[in-house]
Amino acid sequence: MPKTFFITTAIDYTNSPPHIGHAYEKVLADVIARYRRLKGEKVFFLTGVDQHGQKVQQSAAKAGVPPAEFVKSITQKFVDLWKKLDVKYDAWAATIDPLHKTCVQGILQRLFDEGQIYKDKQAGYYSIRQEQFLTDKERGPDGEFGPEWGEVEFREEENYYFKLNQHKEWLLSYIDNRKDAVVPDFRQAELRNAVEKLSGDLCISRPKSRLDWGIELPFDKDFVTYVWFDALTNYISFAGYDPRQSTINSQSSTFRDKWPALQIIGKDILVPAHGIYWLIMLHALGFPDEQMPQLLVHGWWNISGAKMSKSAGNVVDPFALADKYGADALRYYLMIGIATSQDADFSEEHLIQFYNRDLANDLGNMLSRTLTMIRKYRNGRLSWPSLDQRPPYECKGWENYTNTMNQFAVHQCIYIAIGAASFCNQYIEDQKPWALAKDPKQTEQLDAVLYYSAEALRMSAILISPILPKAAHGIFDQLKWKMELAGKEERFRFEEAKWGGLPNGHVVGKPVPLFPRIEISD
């Protein structure tokens, strides 16, 4: 069976509605998934929501509704957003799903039976307000716990622990043996440093008296599992992993066909969650090194250099932006305004600037002037050029596109796709079809310029389709090309991004403004 390209994103907390950071991560994953399908690969794209835990329990209590009801309404907001932004996934990982629960409990039971999970007593200072044990890190300069912790008391509590520390040497050797375990490289180095400092095991439970909104431990009904075995496990439970099978080879082909995944996560959850806990959990479950997922770590969108947060009141609402500018304009800015491994500042002004410069001017202008000229000079009909007047924009560009996309440098790929359009705007300036049209001796030359301009548009549409699916369809519609596949993603195929696709005599459609300029009103 040919391998499926399996891509996952972090599941999003359902303690509050989605913000622009969530939108960015899912659009990035969607662009990579669409690019793979464009290349003819089979893709399985998994995303979802993290519905259990303390934060959700607290938010639900504050709202005065049961947690199950609370997560339902927030979950719906995520589902609605992905629909609005054309994020097209194959499976939905909602952690309250009974299938997921069965898988999580199966995994916990197996590791417990194998002696990887044990019970221990913890004693220390505990913040009642924050519901967590405090360490010396939480002490202020005066040695006391600050007022943000509220009342602090000494407590003893029993919990279950996962033997994390015994896998430390393995994790170091795995990281050292695989250069692309984490992308980008500086994040892999950051992870390695953190692993070197690793000590102690991982607490994986909470007594039900403290937290009951979670998955019960299969071997002790007084506890629920706390975060890690619940949330991280989604990446395999929703891909068909069977916890009763202890080797990869005994897993069903449904699972083996997909795994290992490319996992897209934000910079805040590499250390320790995905880079340490998750990789060690998989190793403990018997996943061999070559079956470890690759971690693609993206940066964060900030607001004027500051972190976006509810308390700072600077959370950017993706729904409002999509309503105001359209899904494609928002997708475009989220992809071009940031380098995948870096942070960037989100600003509506920049969104408008990028849109007007690249889409309204370059691509939009190229489309309307080309169609207008073909209709004006040739009644909309294209002729195969008899001259080789192909613009010197060569297919090398497409090779770069593939290479940069394979390195997840989406913003650079956009420049290649849009570059074809702006290059052809220049080509039209140079060739001056309006002058050629006045000279009967230049008939063939004019045919060639019109034909290759239409071709450049067709190819730009193919290359931009992972980023701007709606606009790519709009360009094909106006070219009257592949109308039988209108609205379908199969309309775009990477292998067709080469000169000579439009047949002799092809008649193009009417130009309709695809990217009307956004005027800034103050």
The partner in contact with residue 24, picked from Mg ion, ligand ME8, none with C-beta cut-offs of 5 to 8 angstroms by kind, is ligand ME8
CB of 230 to ligand ME8, least distance (A): 8
The partner in contact with residue 410, picked from ligand ME8, Mg ion, none with C-beta cut-offs of 5 to 8 angstroms by kind, is none
In the set 265, 279, 336, 462, which binds ligand ME8 (CB under 6 A)? 265
Residue 364 identity (one-letter amino acid): G
Interacting positions 195-234 with ligand ME8 (CB under 6 A): 227, 231-232
Q: Which is nearer to Mg ion, 122 or 173 (CB)?
A: 173
Interacting positions 297-326 with Mg ion (CB under 5 A): none
Q: Which is nearer to ligand ME8, 24 or 35 (CB)?
A: 24
CB of 262 to Mg ion, least distance (A): 13
CB of 264 to ligand ME8, least distance (A): 7
In the set 4, 7, 8, 12, which binds ligand ME8 (CB under 6 A)? 12
Interacting positions 366-425 with ligand ME8 (CB under 6 A): none
Half-sphere exposure of 240 (CA within 13 A, CB side): 15
Q: Is 10 in the site for ligand ME8 (CB under 6 A)?
A: yes
How many other C-beta atoms lie within 10 A of the C-beta of residue 197? 8
Closest CA to 13 of 53, 45, 46, 62: 53
The answer for residues whose C-beta is within 8 angstroms of residue 141's C-beta and 6 or more apart is: none
Give phi and psi for 154, each to the nearest 5: -85, 135
CB of 102 to Mg ion, least distance (A): 35
Q: Which is nearer to Mg ion, 114 or 185 (CB)?
A: 185
Q: Is 273 in the site for ligand ME8 (CB under 6 A)?
A: yes
Residue 67 identity (one-letter amino acid): P
Q: Is 11 in the site for ligand ME8 (CB under 6 A)?
A: yes
CB of 276 to Mg ion, least distance (A): 16
Q: Is 160 in the site for ligand ME8 (CB under 6 A)?
A: no
Q: Would you say 296 and 275 are in contact if contact means Cβ atoms under 8 Å apart? A: no
Interacting positions 154-193 with Mg ion (CB under 5 A): 180, 182, 185, 188
Q: Which is nearer to Mg ion, 188 or 422 (CB)?
A: 188
Closest CA to 196 of 162, 228, 169: 169
* Residue closest to Mg ion when measured from CB atoms: 188
Closest CA to 95 of 153, 21, 11, 30: 11
Distance in angstroms (rounded) separating the CA atoms of residues 159 and 370: 69
Residue 35 identity (one-letter amino acid): Y
Distance in angstroms (rounded) separating the CA atoms of residues 445 and 438: 12
How many other C-beta atoms lie within 10 A of the C-beta of residue 154? 8
Alpha carbon 360 to its chain centroid, in Å, reads 26
In the set 45, 78, 112, 301, which binds ligand ME8 (CB under 6 A)? 301
Q: Which is nearer to ligand ME8, 316 or 437 (CB)?
A: 316
CB of 204 to ligand ME8, least distance (A): 12
Q: Is the peptide bond before 218 cis (omega within 30 degrees of 0)?
A: no
* Structure tokens given for 213: 């909104």
CB of 344 to ligand ME8, least distance (A): 9
Strands 344-345 and 301-302: parallel
CB of 373 to ligand ME8, least distance (A): 43
Which range in 4-12, 245-253, 407-415, 441-449 contacts ligand ME8 by CB under 6 A? 4-12
The widest CA-to-CA distance across the chain, in whole angstroms, is 95
The strand pairing partners of 126, in sequence order, are 133, 153
In the set 170, 300, 319, 325, which binds ligand ME8 (CB under 6 A)? 300
Strands 294-298 and 301-302: unpaired
CB of 316 to ligand ME8, least distance (A): 9
Q: Which long-range contacts (CB under 8 A, 24 or more apart) does 68-75 make?
A: 68/96, 70/14, 71/14, 71/96, 74/14, 74/15, 74/16, 74/17, 74/49, 75/14, 75/49, 75/51
Q: Would you say 130 and 150 are in contact if contact means Cβ atoms under 8 Å apart? A: yes
- Binding positions for Mg ion, rule: CB under 5 A: 180, 182, 185, 188
Residues of the shown chain interacting with ligand ME8 in the complex, contacts defined by CB under 6 A:
10-13, 21-22, 24-25, 50, 227, 231-232, 265-266, 268-269, 273, 300-301, 308
